[in-house]
């Protein structure tokens, strides 16, 4: 367990805003990179198939590096570890645009993903620690701030691409700016130190069983999210004959729905508890999936995609929080859940495409609907572990005692 330090209410509030800003900076790196992928592809001279191969390497790097975050935090303390890992992540933004060919791109994207994964685990562990000490849910809004950062980074990248800016210059300026902002934000986060008698976590280890069970819930949510983000526009065009503009608007609307739902999700979690929130969210996402599959025209499908986004938005933040409270090593448990969710995000787009080739895109979103239903059936696993957020505990206990059907 981390060494206990008493922080004032005002100090905890400042820490909450600081870690939220860290999430925003982290998301801005992703948004900045994503908008310049076409420039990077052209500069490296890679085909669409080679680019698809290269884009698998960030998830591979993240999955392999995530277990290291716990050991780094144990050795240097949470604040110092986050400061260093976040700086590595923001500075890694400069690497992809420098890649000369497909193999160089694969290598730098592996490093890019590794720094993303380690900083992701460190900031989520600090987010959970801050949530525990505040005694109320904040993880949903923290992930909402990540989405806000991604949107800001994407907006800046869109402007840079529109004016024809060299991505090497754009990413260098963005990396330096985000590094400075990230280091400033890290000054305000909690400085949590490990107890002197606490055994250091292993550098590499299999995720604990609790993380595997909780990660399955995250897998369902991220699969539905990834499938909707990457395939909603294609679905509207191919299955319902929508225009390219309307199809693109559906993807944007889905992303905005996710961001807004996460920003307001903490109030819902504090009122109803994690289990009931995910159970109802799963039902909403299932309804959305049915609307997509049965949609007679584009408007119904767009509403269905919106409901999927609304239903799955808070699942991953709650899965991270539940994992951190399920055992003695929060960083290790979060790393386990994060690895599962990253894997889900990696395989979802290709799995949907493969199933669509073998059957139809309609059938693919039937699978998404079933996974959304899995959230309803499996939400109870988020009750595992001792929860220190008092409001969430009271709400979940009330939900367990209230009459009504139980999945």
DSSP string spanning 307-336? HHHHHHTTHHHHHHHHHHTSSS-HHHHHHH
Within 10 angstroms of residue 42's Cβ, the number of other Cβ atoms is: 10
CA 232-307-395 angle, to 5 degrees, is: 145
Element (H, E) at 96: none
Contact partners, residue 133, CB within 8 Å, separation at least 6? 7, 12, 190
Burial class (CB in 10 A: 0-12, 13-18, 19+), 135: middle
In our burial notation (b when 16+ CB lie closer than 10 A, e otherwise), range 331-354 reads bbbbbbbbbbbbbbbbbbbebbbe
Determine the pLDDT at residue 396. 43
Determine the pLDDT at residue 88. 97
Determine the pLDDT at residue 82. 95
Determine the pLDDT at residue 207. 61
The pair of three-digit structure tokens given for residue 340, joined into one six-digit string? 């599962």
Determine the pLDDT at residue 377. 93
β-bridge partners, 40: none
CA distances from 191 to 146, 363, 386 (A): 21, 49, 22
3-class DSSP assignment, residue 2: strand
Burial class (CB in 10 A: 0-12, 13-18, 19+), 220: buried
Determine the pLDDT at residue 389. 40
Determine the pLDDT at residue 401. 42
Element (H, E) at 397: helix 390-401
Q: For the chain, how many residues are written?
A: 407
- Per residue of the chain (407 residues), give pLDDT as tens: 454 566 678 888 899 999 999 999 999 998 898 888 889 988 999 887 788 788 888 888 988 888 888 888 888 888 999 999 999 999 999 999 999 999 999 999 999 999 999 999 899 989 988 988 888 889 899 999 998 898 888 888 888 888 889 999 999 999 999 999 999 999 999 887 766 555 655 555 556 677 788 889 999 999 998 888 778 878 888 888 888 777 777 777 787 888 889 889 999 998 999 999 999 999 999 999 999 999 998 999 999 999 999 999 999 999 988 887 776 677 778 878 888 887 787 777 778 878 888 888 899 899 999 999 999 999 998 885 434 344 444 444 444 444 333 22
CA distances from 333 to 59, 73, 122, 267, 327 (A): 18, 14, 12, 25, 7
| 331 vs 334: CA distance, rounded Å | 5
Burial class (CB in 10 A: 0-12, 13-18, 19+), 237: middle
The pair of three-digit structure tokens given for residue 25, joined into one six-digit string? 């900076």
| 134 vs 154: CA distance, rounded Å | 32
Q: What share of the chain is helix, strand, coil (3-state, %, to 5)?
A: 80, 0, 20
Element (H, E) at 379: none
Reference 302, options 262, 252, 352; nearest CA is 252
The pair of three-digit structure tokens given for residue 6, joined into one six-digit string? 């008493």
């Amino acid at each position: 367990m981390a060494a206990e330090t008493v922080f004032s209410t005002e100090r905890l509030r400042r820490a909450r805003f600081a870690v939220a800003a860290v999430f925003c900076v982290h998301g801005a790196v992703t948004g900045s990179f994503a908008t310049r992928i076409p420039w990077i592809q052209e500069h490296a001279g890679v085909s669409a198939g080679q680019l698809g191969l290269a884009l698998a390497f960030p998830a591979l790097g993240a999955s392999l590096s995530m277990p290291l975050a716990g050991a780094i935090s144990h050795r240097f303390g949470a604040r110092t570890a986050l400061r260093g890992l976040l700086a590595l992540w923001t500075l890694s933004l400069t690497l992809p645009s420098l890649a000369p060919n497909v193999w160089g791109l694969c290598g730098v994207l592996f490093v890019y993903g590794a720094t993303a994964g380690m900083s992701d685990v460190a900031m989520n562990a600090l987010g959970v620690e801050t949530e525990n000490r505040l005694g109320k849910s904040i993880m949903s809004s923290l992930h909402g701030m990540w989405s806000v950062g991604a949107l800001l980074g994407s907006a800046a990248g869109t402007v840079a691409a529109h004016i024809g800016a060299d991505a090497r210059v754009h990413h260098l300026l963005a990396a330096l700016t985000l590094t400075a902002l990230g280091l400033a934000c890290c000054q305000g986060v909690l400085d949590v130190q490990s107890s002197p008698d606490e055994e250091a976590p292993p550098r590499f280890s299999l995720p604990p069983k609790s993380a595997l069970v909780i990660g399955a819930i995250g897998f369902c949510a991220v699969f539905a999210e990834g499938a909707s983000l990457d395939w909603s526009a294609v679905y509207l065009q191919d299955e319902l004959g929508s225009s390219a503009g309307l199809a693109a608007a559906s993807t944007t609307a889905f992303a905005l729905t996710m961001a807004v739902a996460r920003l307001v999700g903490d109030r819902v979690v504090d009122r109803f508890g994690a289990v009931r929130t995910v159970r109802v969210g799963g039902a909403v996402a299932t309804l959305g999936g049915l609307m997509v599959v049965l949609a007679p025209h584009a408007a119904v499908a767009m509403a269905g995609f919106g409901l999927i986004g609304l239903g799955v938005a808070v699942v991953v933040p709650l899965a991270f929080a539940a994992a951190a409270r399920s055992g003695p090593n929060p960083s290790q448990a979060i790393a386990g859940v994060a690895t599962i969710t990253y894997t889900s995000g990696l395989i979802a787009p290709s799995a949907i495409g493969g199933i669509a080739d073998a059957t139809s895109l309609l059938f693919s979103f039937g699978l998404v609907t079933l996974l959304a239903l899995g959230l309803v059936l499996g939400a109870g696993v988020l009750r595992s572990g001792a929860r220190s957020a008092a409001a969430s505990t009271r709400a979940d206990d009330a939900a367990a005692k209230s009459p009504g059907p139980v999945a």
